């Protein structure tokens, strides 16, 4: 009985865990901050990023201000806006930034 319950719980959790897997990332310089919405200048253009929710817990110690260099990882793009999961400091050397995807 316990084994069956464990299997059912694992199957129910699988879709939820899959949604948390980051699928997008961008690196760049913050050019505007409008409440919970950032605009980041990447190597290829501008990206809009929503930092509300889960990202707040991952930004501790990061001075989020215009001019900050950041790497943002998220899992959804709704209406052209990336929903951030984490926002971290990027290295000053643009060549060391990870590729956007």
Query: 42-91, pLDDT tens digit by residue?
Result: 988 999 999 886 555 556 557 788 999 998 888 877 788 998 888 888 88
80: helix, strand or coil? coil
User: For residue 84, which of 4, 14, 30 has the smallest C-alpha distance?
Assistant: 30
Name the CATH code of domain 21-96 (choices 3.30.750.200, 2.40.50.140, 3.40.50.1000, 1.10.540.10).
2.40.50.140
Per domain, the residue ranges of the chain are: 21-96
Query: 2-48, pLDDT tens digit by residue?
Result: 554 445 444 444 444 445 566 888 999 999 999 889 999 998 899 99
**Cα separation, 48 vs 39, whole angstroms:** 5
The model's pTM is: 0.70
């Amino acid at each position: 009985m316990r084994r069956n319950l464990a299997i059912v719980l694992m199957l129910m959790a699988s879709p939820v865990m899959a949604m948390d897997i980051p699928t997008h990332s961008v690196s760049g310089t913050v050019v505007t901050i409008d409440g919970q919405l950032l605009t980041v200048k990447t190597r290829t253009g501008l990206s809009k990023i929503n930092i509300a929710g889960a990202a707040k817990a991952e930004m501790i110690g990061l001075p989020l201000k215009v001019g900050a260099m950041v790497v943002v990882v998220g899992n959804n793009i709704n209406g052209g806006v990336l929903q951030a999961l984490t926002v971290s400091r990027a290295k000053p050397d643009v060549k060391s930034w990870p590729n956007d995807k």
